[in-house]
Amino acid sequence: MSNDLYQQIQQFYDASSGLWENIWGEHMHHGYYGVDGKKQLDRRQAQIDLIEELLNWSAYNSPEHPKMIDIGCGIGGSSLYLAEKLHGEVVGITLSPVQANRAQERAAAAGLSDKATFQVANALNIPYPDHTFDLVWTLESGEHMPDKDQFLQECYRVLKPGGRMILATWCHRSTEGQAGALTLAETKHLQKIYDVYCLPYVISLPDYEEIVTKCGFQEMRSADWSVAVAPFWDVVIDSSITPQAILGLFKAGWKTIQAALSLKLMSQGYERGLIKFGLITATK
- For residues 242 and 235, give the distance between their C-alpha atoms in angstroms, rounded to a whole number: 13
Residue 150 has pLDDT above 90, yes or no: yes
- For the stretch 96-115, pLDDT in tens is 999 999 999 999 999 999 99
Assign residue 44 the CATH number of its domain. 3.40.50.150
Residue 86 has pLDDT above 90, yes or no: yes
- For residues 116 and 123, give the distance between their C-alpha atoms in angstroms, rounded to a whole number: 18
Q: What is the pLDDT of residue 42?
A: 86
Q: What is the pLDDT of residue 274?
A: 97
Q: What is the pLDDT of residue 242?
A: 60
Q: What is the pLDDT of residue 256?
A: 55
Those residues whose C-beta lies under 8 Å from the C-beta of residue 192, and which sit 6 or more positions away, are 262, 265
Q: What is the pLDDT of residue 14?
A: 79
Exposed e or buried b for every residue in 169-198, given b needs 16+ CB within 10 A?
Answer: bbbbbbeeeeeeebeeebeebbeebeebbb
Query: Which of 209, 216, 222 has its CA nearest to residue 284?
Result: 216
Q: What is the pLDDT of residue 133?
A: 98
Contact assessment for residue 143 and residue 199, using Cβ atoms and an 8 Å cutoff:
yes
- For the stretch 153-165, pLDDT in tens is 999 999 999 999 9
- For residues 216 and 214, give the distance between their C-alpha atoms in angstroms, rounded to a whole number: 5
Contact assessment for residue 136 and residue 166, using Cβ atoms and an 8 Å cutoff:
yes
Its domain, for residue 126, covers 3-173+182-283
> pLDDT over 70 for what percent of the chain?
90
Provide the number of structural domains found in the chain.
Answer: 1
- For residues 141 and 121, give the distance between their C-alpha atoms in angstroms, rounded to a whole number: 13
Please state the length of the chain.
284
Q: What is the pLDDT of residue 158?
A: 98
Segment 55-79 shows an average pLDDT of 97
Q: Please provide the DSSP assignment of 83-129 as one string.
A: HHHHT-EEEEEES-HHHHHHHHHHHHHTT-TTTEEEEE--GGG-SS-
Q: Please provide the DSSP assignment of 209-241 as one string.
A: HHHHHHHT-EEEEEEE-HHHHTHHHHHHHHHT-
Residue 262 has pLDDT above 80, yes or no: no
Contact assessment for residue 171 and residue 208, using Cβ atoms and an 8 Å cutoff:
yes
- For residues 127 and 69, give the distance between their C-alpha atoms in angstroms, rounded to a whole number: 11
